[in-house]
Amino acid sequence: MTAPAKSLTKRANVGRSERSQGLTYPIVTARVFLTALVRLGYDRQALLNAAGVDFSRSDDPDAIVPCQAVGNMFGSAMRTRPLKNMGMRLAMETPMGAFPLLDYLVLTCETVGDAIRQLARYFRLNDAPYELEIQDAEDPVQIVFRSQIGSMVFEFGISLVVLHLREETENRLQPTYVSFVHRPDDIREIEEALGCPVRGEALWNGLALSPEAWRLPMRRRDSVLRSVLESHAKEILARLPEADDSVREIRRSLMARISQGDTEIESVARALATSSRSLQRRLAAAGTSFQEVLDATRRDVAGRYLEDRTLSVGEVAYLLGYSEPAAFHRAFKRWNGITPLEFRRQKA
């Protein structure tokens, strides 16, 4: 255990000011998804070609990958061979240790309850797109995943927690049930994989544990190593910028909808299970507006689309939701000081 710990603690000295900024994934997360997809039988090079970024070669543990690149990778996989319950299947192919520091912080805990509290405390280390709310006054204890993102990410995160904790309790953990707001593709398959009942179309996302399951001991508990890892994890968290979750959720939703040309605030609000007025209030509290967030998202996507020489500038404008190329030209020049054609020539 000491050798992995030494490699993990080196991370505390690395600057990470850009980690949570913009539409990006940490490279660790992108690689976890890539590896899991390859284990599921997808072609590694085809996935990287679809992503447009070969993030498999970087030695920088703090590098980031555009959100669009990861989305393109998943899109290619599902077009090649659609799979039911993709989030759960990815979790089944993700071993303990795939997220090194966070996983070691969890597996060295004394009990399942301690491990889940550790997750809730340090999820931000991996720029996780959700937060955990632990309702331990309930019987069974409820671990609620809070976010406004897509169903696949909930399936992945909740399944990963159950599978890893079951492994670290020597298969003794059996949740009372797992709860999803969406209806999974195949509930019976998830029940078999997670070893517990699964509730679809429920009121919340997460899992429920009996008090006995909450107190189960972890097989690799190590208080000394855990205290070392915690001290370095706290240093890393202190360096991370405070990202506004509302803005990040809205940008992720826009990223998923932008290629469909569906960027109206009403559509985004429905996707985030809120109203347009509430969405505007949240953005105002964050010091921005929906139009500013939309422009920022379009700006991030525009450069990557323009690098694809198979797309005309007019097609790029359409993909970004502009009704005519002239409006895209004006916006792009405002963002970058040059026209889309000039940008494309420079890249060439």
C-beta of residue 148 within 8 angstroms of C-beta of residue 273 = yes
Higher pLDDT among residues 65 and 185, named by residue:
185
- Inform me whether the pLDDT recorded for 8 exceeds 50: no
C-beta of residue 146 within 8 angstroms of C-beta of residue 131 = yes
Angle, nearest 10°, between helix axes 290-307 and 276-285?
A: 90
The span from the CA of 309 to the CA of 245, in Å, is 34
C-beta of residue 301 within 8 angstroms of C-beta of residue 263 = no
**% residues pLDDT > 90 (the chain):** 37
**% residues pLDDT > 70 (the chain):** 85
Q: Which of 191-195, 317-321, 335-339 has the lowest mean pLDDT?
A: 317-321
Confidence at residue 43, expressed as pLDDT on a 0 to 100 scale:
96
- Inform me whether the pLDDT recorded for 84 exceeds 90: yes
pLDDT tens digits, residue range 226-255?
777 777 666 665 655 555 567 777 877 787
pLDDT tens digits, residue range 265-282?
888 888 777 888 888 888
Mean pLDDT of the chain: 82
Q: Grade residue 4 by pLDDT with cuts at 50, 70 and 90.
A: very low
Q: Which amino acid is at 308?
A: D
Confidence at residue 105, expressed as pLDDT on a 0 to 100 scale:
87
- Inform me whether the pLDDT recorded for 318 exceeds 80: no
Confidence at residue 238, expressed as pLDDT on a 0 to 100 scale:
62
C-beta of residue 113 within 8 angstroms of C-beta of residue 131 = no
- Domains in the chain, ordered, with CATH? 21-82 (no CATH), 84-243 (no CATH), 245-347 (1.10.10.60)
pLDDT tens digits, residue range 130-157?
788 898 888 999 999 987 666 888 999 9
- Inform me whether the pLDDT recorded for 203 exceeds 80: yes
